[in-house]
Amino acid sequence: MRNNILFILFPLLFFYGIKISAQNQYHPNDFDLFEDKLETLHESYLSNIQGKNAKKIKKKYKELYAGFVESVEDSAFYFNATIDFSLDNVINEIAKNNAEINAKDLTFLVKNSTIPNAACYGNGLFHLNLALFNYIESEDELAFIVAHEIAHYQLEHNKKKLTNYVNTLHSKSTKERLKNIRRKKYGVTRGVMSMMDDIGVEFINRTIQSEKEADSLGFLLLSKTKYNQSAALSALERLEIEDDVLFDHDPQLKKRFNFRKLPFKDKWLAEEKSSLFDLEDEVDDFSLRKDTLKTHPEIKERLEFLKKTFNVKSNNSDLLAQRTLADVREITLHHTIDFTIDFKFLDLSIYLLSKYRSENLISEAYFKDKLILVFETIYHARLNHELGKYVPQKNDMSDELMLNQIRLFIHNLEITEIKTIATLLCQQYNRDNGENTKCLEN
C-alpha cells in the first residue's frame, strides 16, 4: 500500500507522479485539448469558492489541482477506447433519465491502481481505479458506482470537505492546540502528527456519513434507468474484499520457481537473524490508525442502510447476462499487470500474476510471457544496482503479507540465479508454445 498522509486528510484528491517511458495508452490522444478541458473545470470550480477562508481554500485546491495535472503527465491514468465506450454508455443512460445531470459536464478517467476504489473531485472530474473493473461483474454494478460518484458531485461533498478541513486547520482551537504543543520540551513532532491524525480521523468519520448520502442519491439516480436496482447491493458486496489491500494471496513461490535445473532453495525465503541490539517489537511513533485506511468505510452498515431505506433486495441472478463487462474486464486485467511492469512495481507484478493465474483469470502462456519480462527487468535492475528503487525490502511493520514474502524472495536471489530463472522460464515458454523467443543467455 503506497499511501501517504494526503490520502487521509484529502480522501477526495490523492495524487502521486511516477515517471515511466511514454506510451500512448497512458496519455489522451489530444493532450492539449484534454488539458484545456481540465483547466476549464478548474477555473469553474475556483469561481464557486466563497466565504470564510476562501483564499486559503483556493490556494489548497490549486496545489491539489497542480498535483493532479502532474499525475496525468506522469502516466497515472489509462486511456482505452473500449473502456471509455462502456463508461460513456453508462453515463449517458444515467444522464438521459435524470434531468438534473448533463453528461457533457462529467469526465471519468481510469487510474492505474490495484486498489478497487473511485473518486469524485468535485468539479465534474472523476476517476475509477483500474482494479475496480476486476471486481465488478456487470454494467449494472458499474452504473451504481458511477451514480454514487455523480451523487458526491451533486451533493458537493468534496467542496464541503475541503472547506471544513481548511476552516478546522485555521481555527482558533487548532492554533491554540498547536501553540501548546510547541511549548513542550520533548515530543513536539509526535504531538503535531497526533493532532493531524485526529483531524484526519474526524474527516474520515464524516466521510462515512457522506458515503451513505451518496449511496442514497446514487440509488435514486440508478432507479430511473434500465439498470437493475439490486446491483447497488452486489456492487457494494464486491467492494468488501480486502485481498488487494492486505496481499494475503499465497503466490506459491516454492511451486512456481522450482525447476529441474534449479530446484527451489529454502534460503530464498530465509530472513536474516536479528542483531542482539534489535528490539523484539518495533515501534512506529507516526503510524496512523488502521481504520483511517479503509478503502470503503463501513460497507456492511451502508448495505443495511440501503436495504432499510429503499427496501431493496439482493437478486444477483436477475442481472442481465448481456450487460456483462467481459471485454472490459479482460482489458483491465491485462493492463493491471502491464502497468505494474511498466512502473517497475516488480514485487506487485509477481503477486498479481500469481493471483490471477491461480484464479484462472489469465492464461498460462500470458502468465509465463509476463513473468519472463518481470525477471529480465529484475535482472537488469540488479545489474545496474537499482533493484532497491523498484522493490522495497521486507517490512515487518506492514500488512502486505504475501507481498513481503515476494520482496524477501527477490532480494535473496543471486544475480546469476535471477538470470537462470529468467532463462528457464523463457525456455519453458518456447517449448509450450512452439516459439523461439530470445532468452537471456546463461
Q: Which of 253, 334, 343 is nearest to 16 (CA)?
A: 343
Per residue in 294-347, pLDDT (tens digit) is 556 688 899 999 999 999 877 655 544 457 788 899 999 999 999 999 999 999
Per residue in 323-332, pLDDT (tens digit) is 778 889 999 9
**Local structure of 78: helix, strand or coil:** strand
If you average pLDDT over residues 56-66, what whole number do you get? Answer: 87
d(CA 312, CA 303): 10
Predicted pLDDT at 178: 60
Q: What phi and psi values does residue 127 have, to the nearest 5 degrees?
A: -140, 150
Which cell numbers in the block locate residue 342? 511498466
Per residue in 266-281, pLDDT (tens digit) is 999 998 754 433 433 3
Predicted pLDDT at 21: 39
Higher pLDDT, 280 or 215: 215
Q: Which of 100, 103, 227, 215 is nearest to 148 (CA)?
A: 215
Cβ atoms within 10 Å of 204's Cβ, excluding its own: 19
Per residue in 122-138, pLDDT (tens digit) is 889 999 999 999 889 89
Q: How far, CA to CA in Å, does 102 sit from each of 84, 114, 217, 276?
A: 17, 30, 16, 65
pLDDT over threshold 50, residue 253: yes
- For 267, counting Cβ atoms within 10 Å of its Cβ (0-12 exposed, 13-18 middle, 19+ buried), the class is exposed
When mean pLDDT is compared across 27-31, 116-120, 205-209, 221-225, the lowest value belongs to 205-209
Q: Which of 72, 131, 142 is nearest to 334 (CA)?
A: 131
Give the residue extent of every domain in the chain: 5-240+299-323, 253-277+344-433
d(CA 397, CA 13): 26
